[in-house]
Amino acid sequence: MTTAHIDTFARDSLPAIALQPDFLFNLPELQFGAHINCATELLDRHIREGRGERVCIRGKDVCWTYRDLNDRANQVANVLTRDMGLVAGNRVLLHASNTPMMAACWFGIVKAGGIAVATMPLLRAKELQPILDIAKISHALCEASLSTEMGLAAHNTPQLRHLRHFNYSGPDSLEAAMERQSPVFENVNTAADDTCLIAFTSGTTGIPKATMHFHRDVMAICACWPGYVLKPTPDDVFIGSPPLAFTFGLGGLLLFPMSVGASTVLLDKAGPTQLLDGIKEFGATVVFTAPTSYRTLSARGSEVRRTSLRRCVSAGEALPASTRALWREATGIELIDGIGATEMLHIFISADEASARPGATGRVVPGYEARVVDDDGKTVPVGTVGKLAVRGPTGCRYLTDERQKTYVRDGWNLTGDAYLMDADGYFFYQSRTDDMIISSGYNIASPEVEEALMQHPSVAECAVIGEPDEERGQIVKAFVALRPGVVGDAAMVKTLQDFVKSVVAPYKYPRAIAFIDKLPRTQTGKLQRFKLRSL
Ligand code: 3UK
């Protein structure tokens, strides 16, 4: 395939073929030609096929049709290539909260053959800096309200040559530059295997890892999970909380709705309250958010019942069976759980409402293969805990990173999760492979103890870790946030310990319990167990 990239940095930074995972294209939907620009498929196609006047994106005071978004994305592409000297293959940092303009920028970059590197809005200069360096970013588009940290990071980055701000009305704004450009642009005819986005892992520790994804990969995730599990229609209205910088959000709130010609609502702030307000205001039918958000919102189930919501997707963290039950009782809706990863781009194990089973993430998504393996990479018997290994049309390609060898073994992607598979092919999450607690020789998965604790009415949230112990190697320690009005005293410790013993095997009970106000989480909503370990 002939690349359209003039700047070949991304191609030159791919892992050696021998270190890459196997890629499978075993579905009729996965037969791709040599050239794809995913922006052409997801955006221009709708206009070409007569759907230009349908609503595409809504946000605060904004309602854009497919044609509106396409015009703006074309103007961004013209600004990038004519004013800012972008050539195909250049990396463009996109630093913004979820707004329609951020989406226009994403498509503008991709139309121009650039590589979109979206970053979480709350990142500080110190966190933006390594991203600018690792991806060798030459251009940046930044929301004006985030300009301080962006400016600090840009200051120390000589290769960053062009920076423009948007979501404001100054004469030097991106919008002002767009006004001077034509809304017509001929999308660059990129190769199916040209990189179109670099996503940084939300990694809880260490140097961030940059994962590279092709135009083909974007089309592959649109062809697999949505069509087989979510089954959206063009009349669906998508909404949710994950940032577009997190591939869970990029897929769920931008790529998937657009792949079927549906509409999406982008909220720049999407805590549980704003999310529920948004669902009501925009008549949303499909929501994407994390387990904790469903837990919080279940207290307002009767309000949810009065909305038009019909599909609720949970990912990013294990979904406790108790949260699934709570949501169903409160709202009448069965959650769609799915495990995805930045390395895999999106969800590869999941179950729709009809086939969901409590405690299981689901079955492998069509297009993917999954198995549970031992340390030698051999498949373990049904019902045995081991490491999750997956492969499919997408997979891990770290940008020049030694850790490629850890994530990919013998063509399979190892996600770092401990799972077991039952005889029906359902996959049950146990823990992160490094979060298995070994106490007096017993293997104890933190989430199982957390699940038990969460069934107690006094517990709002909790997290369980292994604490070093002379006698037992490790002991189970729980951090518990109590519901308002409940007192965290010695009697409560005893109550919770006895409760856990009554729900799961007694040896799993937390020998130590500490009460805290709030659990430490990443911006993608993941629990930071390592922070608890250092408390
Ligand atoms: C964990 C889950 C149990 C698991 C993601 C959907 O979370 C996403 O990507 P990340 O790179 O993290 C990947 C890791 O998160 N995880 C995610 N979902 C589940 N564990 N059940 C789940 N349903 O440890 C995985 O290895 O931040 C999720 C779509 C795109 C994504 N990038």
Ligand 1 pocket, residues with Cβ under 6 angstroms: 201-202, 247-248, 315-319, 337-342, 346-347, 361, 415-417, 429, 432, 524
When mean pLDDT is compared across 208-212, 514-518, 524-528, the lowest value belongs to 524-528
Four-residue CA torsion sign, 141, 145, 151, 153 = negative
Which pLDDT does position 445 carry in this prediction? 86
The mean per-residue pLDDT over the stretch 196-205 comes to 81
Q: How do strand 139-143 and strand 91-95 relate by DSSP bridges?
A: parallel
Distance of CA 356 to the CA centre of its chain: 21
Q: Which of 213, 312, 323, 342 to mutate to test the pocket of ligand 1 (most atoms within 8 A of CB)?
A: 342
Render pLDDT for 293-337 as a digit per residue (tens, 0 to 9): 999 999 999 999 999 999 999 999 999 999 999 999 999 999 999
State in Å: Cα 214 to ligand 1 middle: 20
Mean pLDDT along residues 100-106: 98
**Is the pLDDT score of 204 beyond 60?**
no
Q: According to the model, what pLDDT value does residue 286 have? A: 98
Average pLDDT over residues 30-50: 98
Q: What is the pLDDT of residue 206?
A: 67
- Mutational test site, ligand 1, from 293, 317, 387, max ligand atoms within 8 Å of CB: 317
Q: Quick one: which atom of ligand 1 is closest to the CA of 314?
A: 23
Report which ligand 1 atom has the smallest distance to the Cα of 524.
Answer: 27
Tell how far the Cα of 136 is from the centroid of ligand 1, in angstroms.
26
- Residue 1, pLDDT score: 64
What's the CA gap between 210 and 113, in Å, rounded?
A: 19
**Phi, psi torsion values for 375, nearest 5 degrees:** -65, -20
Mean pLDDT of the chain: 95
Nearest to residue 343, comparing CAs of 397, 294, 302? 397
- Residue 432 CA: which ligand 1 atom is closest? 24
Q: How far is CA 98 from the centre of its chain?
A: 13
Q: Three-state SS across 161-208?
A: CEEEEECCCCCCCHHHHHHCCCCCCCCCCCECCCEEEEEECCCCCCCC
> Looking at residue 73, what is its pLDDT?
98
Q: Please, what is the Cα angle at 135 between 97 and 526, to 5 degrees?
A: 50
**107 or 157, which is more confident?**
107
163 neighbors 115 (Cβ within 8 angstroms): no
- At 127, is the pLDDT very low, low, confident or very high (cuts 50, 70, 90)? confident
pTM of this structure:
0.92
Question: Which one, of 389, 387, 405, lies nearest residue 397 by Cα?
Answer: 405
Q: How far is the CA of 346 from the centre of ligand 1 (A)?
A: 8
Whether 135 and 210 have beta carbons less than 8 Å apart is answered as yes
pLDDT in tens, 384-408: 999 999 999 999 999 999 999 999 9
pLDDT at 348: 98
For 36-63, what is the mean pLDDT?
Answer: 97
More confidently predicted of 355 and 206: 355
Three-state DSSP class for 233?
coil
Best of 213, 339, 372, 521 for a ligand 1 pocket test (most atoms within 8 Å of beta carbon): 339
Q: Which tokens sit at 471?
A: 């006698």
Look at the block and give the residue holding tokens 């079955």: 363
How many angstroms separate the most distant Cα atoms in the chain?
A: 72
At 492 the pLDDT is 97
Rounded to whole angstroms, how far apart are CA atoms 344 and 228? 17
Contact 257, 263 (CB under 8 A): yes
